[in-house]
Amino acid sequence: MPLPSGDRLIVLVGLPGSGKTTVGKQLARRLQLPFVDSDHEIEQRLGCSIREFFEREGEARFRDIEAEVIDALTRSGPMVLSTGGGAVLRPDNRQRLKSRGKVFYLRSTPEDVFRRVRHDRNRPLLQVADPLQKLRELHAARDPLYREVAHYVIETGRPSVATLVNMIVMQLELNGSPGVPAG
Give binding residues for Mg(2+) as ranges: 21
In the annotated binding site for substrate, the residues are 39, 63, 85, 142
Measured CA to CA, the distance from residue 53 to residue 104 in angstroms comes to: 28
CA-based radius of gyration for the chain = 16
Q: β-strands 35-37, 102-107: how paired?
A: unpaired
Strands annotated E in the chain: 9-13, 35-37, 79-82, 102-107, 152-155
Binding-site sequence positions for ATP: 17-22, 123
Binding site residues, as ranges?
A: 17-22, 39, 63, 85, 123, 142
Residues 6+ apart with CB under 8 A from 175: none
